[in-house]
Structure 1
Amino acid sequence: MLTGNNWVLSSLMGGGLDMFSGGLPSLGFTDDGKLSGSTGCNSFSGGYELNGTNINLDPGAMTKKACPGNGEGQFLDALKNVSNFKVGKDKLTLLDGASELMTLIPQGK
């Protein structure tokens, strides 16, 4: 289920997460279409739209702290390209068509 979990990044563009020194990005979805999360440095609050397994993410307003490294930019670039998703018991996969952009796991798992 997409809502009810705080999803924490477990892979980005098929690679590791060593570019995030301040913390790992996360996403949270509410039943009423609100999206919130963190880039690992800055937090954001926006919305999302679902149409079957297609999804459109809008990070909306974001804090503007200076962040070390390039992890935040890579995460936000990938987020902009998300067009569909798959959700399993312990994994959320965000995709651009058939290309996996990132996987996330429920916080605390």
Structure 2
Amino acid sequence: MFNFSSLIMKKLINLSFILVFLTFSSCDSVSKLNPLSLLTGNNWVLSSLLGGGLDANKFASGLPFLNFMDGGKLSGFAGCNNFSGSFQLEGTSLNLDPGAMTKKACGGENAEGQIVNLLSQVKNFKVAKDKLTLFDGAKELMSFIPQGN
């Protein structure tokens, strides 16, 4: 004879195990998606400007880069001069302040002014597959890749 209540009980037990597994799996995923941990720990090197490629001639001293550090500290290189400032992060909202900048004379055509200007326009970001993209709302301003990639 077929026992219907036993079948329902087995299904409920299996469902309980699945729910427990999903709960613990999702907790681990949330910790991996901490926005601060996505930004820190990399030297982010410029890979595109305004959704297009880069003209290496505009960066004779080297490609610009960003370093996000604990405590909301930001440092980097804008193409000729170094800077040391801060950032504010709330979810995917991001504000960058390059802060103090060295005052080296930059010869030739240099996009440093454009880089600094774009940094001040950043409102949000996305990190996907080792690529950091900075946006002014929906408009892509710059993208970066971890140094060495």
TM-score of the superposed pair, with normalisation by structure 2? 0.70
Residue in 1 aligned with 2:49? 12
Note the residue ranges of structure 2 that are not aligned, 5 or more in a row: 1-37
User: Which protein is richer in helix relative to its size?
Assistant: 2
Deviation at 1:52, TM superposition (A): 0.7
SS at match of 1:32: helix
Residue in 1 aligned with 2:103? 64
Instruction: Count residues in correspondence.
Output: 109
Residue deviations 1:25-80 (CA, integer Å, cap 9, x gap): 00000121100000121000010000110011010100011113131011111111
Q: Percent identity?
A: 69
Aligned Cα RMSD in Å? 1.0
SS at match of 1:17: coil
Answer whether contact 2:130 2:145 (CA < 8 A) is retained.
yes
Matched, 1:51 2:94: no
Residue in 1 aligned with 2:10? none
Structure 1 segments of 4 or more deviating over 4 A?
Answer: none
Note the residue ranges of structure 1 that are not aligned, 5 or more in a row: none
Matches within 5 A, 1:1-109: 1-18=38-55, 19-68=58-107, 69-109=109-149
Give the Cα separation in 2 of the matches to 1:13 and 1:20.
16
Give the Cα separation in 2 of the matches to 1:62 and 1:101.
21
Answer whether contact 2:79 2:110 (CA < 8 A) is retained.
no
Tell which structure's C-alpha radius of gyration is larger.
Answer: 2
